[in-house]
């Protein structure tokens, strides 16, 4: 539990921190820890170690202390809150993109190394028609590339990792209905893209 501080207390420590006092800077970071944690919960939509996220937030607040200009008339807390919001949204997008781009990365299985795409079942493919299977795989890769990062992530978690929609919603920190709509749109776009190519 973090102690309640008055605006005067906060302004006192912030002014000292802006002058380069290391102890004051540490005190400001401690005072703003609840804001950092709230920003992580609200705006970061991916998976990352909690301590790493907290350190990311502290770096943003430290940069805010250095770059804050009270002459602009913007309260420091509003300035820091805005910076934290956009930092964690951007970091979340990058993390989701990296995870989604990993559909072609290999994973160990009992059959050796396979990519995520290899694990997507294709009931219509014939063993004696490897060329057709290769064309379908290429078409699928092109279709997947057209999806948004969120759509790719929902498809990966639901269809490849076999997680049900409620688990996907909880893992991504979004509403169940949003996951359903995202999956529906993604499948519609995948089908349309595949039909264009094949």
- pLDDT exceeds 90 at position 102: no
pLDDT bin (cut points 50, 70, 90) of residue 129 is low
* CA-to-CA separations, 93 to 57, 65, 150, 169, in angstroms, rounded: 16, 25, 9, 16
Task: Write down all domains in the chain, each with its CATH number in brackets.
Answer: 7-98 (1.10.1740), 105-197 (1.10.10.10)
Rounded CA separation 101/89 (Å): 18
Q: Which residue has the higher pLDDT, 131 or 174?
A: 174
Statement: the pTM of the whole predicted model exceeds 0.85: no
Give me the helices (H) in 126-175, please.
130-145, 149-155, 165-172
Q: Which residue has the higher pLDDT, 126 or 151?
A: 151
Average per-residue pLDDT for the chain: 79
């Amino acid at each position: 539990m973090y102690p309640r501080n008055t605006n005067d207390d906060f302004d006192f420590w912030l002014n000292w921190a802006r002058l380069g006092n290391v102890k004051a800077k540490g005190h400001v970071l401690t005072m703003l820890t609840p804001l950092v944690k709230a920003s992580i919960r609200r705006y970061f939509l991916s998976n990352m170690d909690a301590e790493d996220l907290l350190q990311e937030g502290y770096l943003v607040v430290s940069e805010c202390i250095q770059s804050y200009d009270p002459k602009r008339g913007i309260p420091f807390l509003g300035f820091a809150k805005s910076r934290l919001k956009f930092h964690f949204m951007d970091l979340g997008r990058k993390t989701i993109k990296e995870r989604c781009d990993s559909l072609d990365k290999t994973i160990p299985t009992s059959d050796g190394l396979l990519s995520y795409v290899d694990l997507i079942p294709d009931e219509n493919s014939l063993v004696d028609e490897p060329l057709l299977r290769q064309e379908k795989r290429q078409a699928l890769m092109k279709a997947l590339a057209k999806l948004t990062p969120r759509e790719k992530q929902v498809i990966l978690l639901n269809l490849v990792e076999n997680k049900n929609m409620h688990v996907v919603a909880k893992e991504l920190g979004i509403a169940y209905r949003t996951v359903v709509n995202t999956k529906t749109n993604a499948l519609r776009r995948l089908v349309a893209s595949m039909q264009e190519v094949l």
